[in-house]
Amino acid sequence: MAAYRCSYSAVLLILCICSVSTAIDSEETTLTGAHHVGEVDNTQTATETGEQTTEQPVVEERRWEAIDVEEATPGDSDIDEKDTSAPETIVPLTVPQLKDDFQEELVIRPLHSGDIYASFQFRTLWETDFMKGNKVSHYRLFPKSLGQVISKFSVQELHISFTQGYWRTMQWGQPFLPSPPGAELWVWFQDSVTDVDGMWKELTNVLSGIFCASLNFIDSTNTVQPSASFKPLGISNVTDHRFLRYATLPREIVCTENLTPWKKLLPCGSKAGLAVLLKSEKLFHSSFHSEAVHIRPVCQDLLCKTTSWELRQTLNVVFDLHTSGQGKREWSLFKMFSRTLTEACPLASSSKIYIDITDNPQWEQFELSPATPLLSQALVLGDRRTFSVYDLTQQITFGTVRSLNLLIRWKSNEGDMLRPLLHAERYVAGYGLQTGEIHTLMYNNHPYRSFPVLLLDSVPWYLRLYIHTLTVTSKGKHNKPSYIHYQPSKDRVRPHLLEMLIQLPPNSVTEVTVQFERALLKWTEYTPDPNHGFYVGSSVISSLVPSIAAMDTNSTLERPLFSSFFPCKEESSYFVRIYTEPLLVNLPTPDFSMPYNVICLTCTVVAVGYGSLYNLLTRSFQIEEPSPGLAKRIANVIRKVRGVPPL
């Protein structure tokens, strides 16, 4: 009951603070990247009474600004920053001499489908300079293997993800960090690099070794240079897409051997902290599994005098507990990961667990135990979410049993999810092995606003796209893309690259179709199971989607009127990137058992041609003199022996 009252007062406080902070933000438009709105840590309010409400906003406001100073980086411009980062906690900059910092957190979101989405994020910040040939040799928290990769290959930014399974946007909503099925790698090189392709080739081979993955299969036939879809996420002065390389391997299968090297990059390994939960036999018994590494330079302070390198390791899992839970709808950390938490990583400056309770303010959907008095609110993917927070650095979190086993027990299974505003799917149409058509459907579910999306398609060369058959239709009308960047393929050298900027009308489905022809390959170019088909990587759709929070008219009622007339900037839209399904396309196959036969038969035909012409060219017509029969010849031989004239 006490917890309930506390949370109630906290909610009140939050709303009050939010309105103040938004008012401030609308004035201070120079503040960039103020995404982490409404980030409040209520450790104080839990112990204090509601009398302080007159003074508290001032205090909180200062803390909020402090957050801004800490979090904001010039690179976090609207389109670049992914709002997907789960709520960040305040990192007190009390020990600046350490210069590196490690944070870990786990966000758990019960999904409406009954599944559980768990998202781990581990962030290492290091104030150092890998650029300009600096020799960095002393490593503390930052993994040395990746540090060496960055300096050797002059990497500006590196993003790599390994994903098993497909994220079902319509059932699960948007993920915090999107990733396509298979492996995805995109790298911005520094502008000092001259031979980008050579660097890229070496880098993929090195990463292939580090992550035990088949990244060495990335070559020029599946690498593209997107012109608009992938912009640097950190601070960067390179925007020329010559320094960008993007490749996906949709066929890549992710398993334990990729997880183990990924875990080794963590400062605490899997010995302590949240990483003890990462047991592979449980993680891979899931509907969706994605692990990623993102490296980028970020600003150290608001003025961006010094830069630091950020390594963000993320792991997203969706557990399908509803079907595997023997009919009982309840889950716990132990049930999911077969582990409970006993301590935070000692090297971490912050270690927290967030449970998304936005849809459950009155505990009518599920109940959470042990209860926590801490609440936090954040604007995630344009939606205002409320989280229960467990701070693992505080002993009180673990209670008397010295271990934390979060338990959620469902009470009801109704409740509906707001449809994701942007959603896409893709399929191949047509029959036979000669031609086909790729259909990409993009849904704009916003009731009244249209927004532009950038569609990126990278199609392998053996599906020969015919760009003149490209059609974009929405609501039955032709929708002309305002920007098209098309690079045709070269056989056995490079894939097709198609980038388009399309405006999606409100509440509509936009269909993009393009026809292709299936090539017959050389028999050595087929995969070992050619009749399984060939994978075509996911389309990437990047967009600024109008925020749900800005759409929500109810929230304006509880705000001061002066704050809500014009929709404020940071709430108006958010960046989202979604991936469609990869395609599986069959190609015509030759008979693989036939090479000798074919060589023999075709050469025979050529020889027949050559022979008959040679015959006619070199010989001349003559009268046939019949040769004597065998008996006559033998008789002649005998007669010759006898000395008698022949017959």
Partner 1 sequence: MEAPLTLLMVVAVTIRAALFRSSLVDLVAERVEVVSPLTAWKRVVEGLALLDLGVSPYSGDVFHETPLIIYLFHFLVDYAEITFMLADVITAVALYMAVKDYNRQVFRKQKFALEADRYPPDCLELIRSPKEMYYVPLKVAMFYLLNPFTILSCVAKSTCGLNNAVIALFILSTIKGNVLLSAIFLSLATYQSIYPLTLCAPALLYLMQRQYIPVNFRRVSFWWFVVQYAFMYLGSLFVIICLSFFLLGSWDYLPSVYGFILSVPDLTPNIGLFWYFFAEMFEHFRLFFLCVFQINVFFYTIPLSIKLKDHPVFLIFMQLAVISIFKSYPTVGDLALYLAFLPVWSHLHRFLRNIFLVSCVLLACSALFPVLWHLWIYAGSANSNFYYAITLLFNVAQILLVSDYFYAFLRREHHLTYGLYLKRKDGSEATLVLK
Please give the Cα distance from 326 to 101 (Å, whole number): 42
**76-87 as b/e, with b when 16 or more CB fall inside 10 Å?**
bebebbbbbbbb
Q: Is the peptide bond before 528 cis (omega within 30 degrees of 0)?
A: no
CB of 437 to partner 1, least distance (A): 13
Nearer to partner 1, 3 or 594 (CB): 594
Nearer to partner 1, 304 or 484 (CB): 484
What count of Cα atoms within 13 Å lies in the side-chain half-sphere of residue 211? 29
Please give the Cα distance from 65 to 34 (Å, whole number): 10
Helix (H) or strand (E) run with residue 385 in it: strand 383-391
Nearer to partner 1, 137 or 524 (CB): 524
Q: Is 223 exposed, middle or buried (0-12, 13-18, 19+ CB in 10 A)?
A: buried
Two tokens at 55? Answer: 């003074």
Nearer to partner 1, 371 or 598 (CB): 598
CB of 96 closer than 8 Å to CB of 138:
no
Nearer to partner 1, 588 or 628 (CB): 588
CB of 647 to partner 1, least distance (A): 15
CB of 483 to partner 1, least distance (A): 11
Please give the Cα distance from 548 to 381 (Å, whole number): 8
Tell me the three state secondary structure of residue 88: coil
**Which DSSP category does 495 fall into?**
-
CB of 450 to partner 1, least distance (A): 25
Distant-in-sequence contacts of 13-18, Cβ < 8 A, 24+ apart: 13/40, 13/42, 13/45, 13/53, 13/56, 13/60, 14/38, 14/40, 14/42, 14/375, 14/377, 15/558, 15/559, 16/53, 16/56, 16/57, 17/56, 17/57, 17/60, 17/61, 17/64, 18/377, 18/559
The C-alpha angle 338, 343, 344, rounded to 5 degrees, equals: 110
Nearer to partner 1, 94 or 622 (CB): 622
CB of 599 to partner 1, least distance (A): 7
E strands along 22-99, which residues? none
| Cβ neighbours of 320 (radius 10 Å) | 16
Nearer to partner 1, 617 or 630 (CB): 617
CB of 236 to partner 1, least distance (A): 28
Nearer to partner 1, 103 or 223 (CB): 223
CB of 310 closer than 8 Å to CB of 298:
yes
CB of 459 to partner 1, least distance (A): 12
CB of 39 closer than 8 Å to CB of 45:
no
Nearer to partner 1, 213 or 521 (CB): 521
Nearer to partner 1, 141 or 536 (CB): 536
Sheet of 375-380, strands arranged across: 223-224, 244-249, 182-189, 155-164, 288-299, 307-319, 116-126, 100-110, 350-356, 383-391, 375-380
Two tokens at 503? Answer: 């405006």
CB of 431 to partner 1, least distance (A): 7
CB of 224 to partner 1, least distance (A): 14
Nearer to partner 1, 411 or 632 (CB): 632
Nearer to partner 1, 616 or 630 (CB): 616
Nearer to partner 1, 12 or 608 (CB): 608
CB of 436 to partner 1, least distance (A): 12
CB of 186 closer than 8 Å to CB of 247:
yes
Length of the chain: 647
Two tokens at 540? Answer: 């990437």
Nearer to partner 1, 241 or 294 (CB): 241
CB of 607 to partner 1, least distance (A): 10
Binding positions for partner 1, rule: CB under 8 A: 431-435, 461, 464-468, 484, 486-492, 496, 517, 519-524, 588-591, 594-595, 598-599, 601-602, 605-606, 608-610, 612-613, 615-617, 619-625
* Amino acid in the structure at residue 101: D
CB of 586 to partner 1, least distance (A): 9
CB of 244 to partner 1, least distance (A): 19
Nearer to partner 1, 358 or 482 (CB): 482
Q: Which DSSP string do the residues of 389-446 spell out, in sequence order? A: EEETTSGGGGTTTT-B--EEEES-----PPPPSEEEEEEEE--SSSEEEEEEEEEE--
CB of 596 to partner 1, least distance (A): 9
| Cβ neighbours of 112 (radius 10 Å) | 17
Instruction: Select from 518, 496, 499, 510 the least CA-distant residue to 437.
Output: 518
| Cβ neighbours of 597 (radius 10 Å) | 10
CB of 521 to partner 1, least distance (A): 7
